[in-house]
A and B are shown apart, each in its own frame.
Chain A
Amino acid sequence: MRLAAEHTHARHHIGELLLAALPSELGAARAFAERVGVAFGLDGDDCYDFTYAVNEAVTNAIRHGAPDRHGRIHLSFRASASRLTIAVRDYGTFVMPVARSDARSEHGRGFPLMARLTDAVRVRVEPGRTTVYLSKARA
């Protein structure tokens, strides 16, 4: 697994999901994120927030990214002692979202929501693939 090799040894791989890049699969992404969050020990609100942020990242990957050659988005979860991190990877070229502070805009709420609902959001852009990392600390 390429992803595992990129991470430090301190983290443990606790789950992976290859998801068809279809809006109808978002429920499956949320169910998986929730299961992983509960297993890690996130409490009710934190687990809801984590699941919400994962849904936003996967939605972006489906809307704006590109799937792998099998039509899939890759989700993988890692846990350290105190924090749970998910990587949402697609195989498109990342387009920087336009920063909007306009409350009347229909778009541009995904990343601000992810930032508010998690402890860290990172985006890794590489040729031919984009990975969004979302981390949530255990209370």
Chain B
Amino acid sequence: MSYFHIADDTAPAGVGDGDEVAVLVAAGEVDFAAAPQLRERISDQLDAGRRQLVLDVSSVTFIDSTAIGVLVGVITRLQDAGDGSLAIVCGEENRPVMRIFDISGLTGLVAVHRTREEAFSALVTAG
């Protein structure tokens, strides 16, 4: 009934520290049924040694509190360890999800970029 999809994409050459960068693109509804998949795909990238993650949720239509909890968990672990980052991309047209990010406090914890390019340049600047 509900649809959720998450896939890997590649970062353009020269972004961040090369092998450290991973791009994940999610689409559809991220609810309590889908949140474990989100967690797994992020963990897979971290386990593979990628420490600069970019998660594009521009095509996500719904994200619940358990999925936001997953993102907060990843972000705070990386911040505390000081060895990586998770940047979130949410297109300007995706007002419903952006509003949920605001209300839930996620935007106070991490920068939410409007485009992937903006997220990539933030990586470059940080590196």
Binding site for B on A (CB under 8 A): 23-24, 26-28, 30-31, 45, 48, 52, 55-56, 59, 62-63, 103-107, 109-110, 112-113, 116-117
Question: B31, A59: Cβ atoms under 8 Å?
Answer: yes
Interface of A is mostly: helix
Interface residues of B (CB under 8 A from A): 1-2, 29, 31-33, 62, 64-66, 68-70, 72-73, 76, 96, 100, 103-105, 108-109
Beyond the given A52-B62, A59-B32, A107-B69, please list 5 additional residue pairs across the A-B interface where CB-CB is below 8 A. Answer: A48-B96, A52-B64, A103-B108, A109-B105, A116-B103
For residue B73, give the distance in angstroms from its CB to the closest CB of chain A. 4
Residue from B29, B64, B65, B104 with most neighbouring chain A CB atoms (10 Å): B65
- Contact check, A110 vs B65: say whether CB atoms are below 8 A apart: yes
Question: Across the interface, do B1 and A27 meet the contact criterion of CB distance under 8 Å?
Answer: yes
CB atoms of A55 and B72 under 8 A apart: no
* Contact of A109 with B96 at beta-carbon distance under 8 Å, contacts A59-B64, A63-B32, A103-B105 already known: no
Q: Are B76 and A26 in contact (CB under 8 A)?
A: no
- A117 CB contacts on chain B under 8 angstroms: 103
Q: Kindly identify which residue among A27, A103, A109 contacts B65, using a CB–CB cutoff of 8 Å.
A: A109
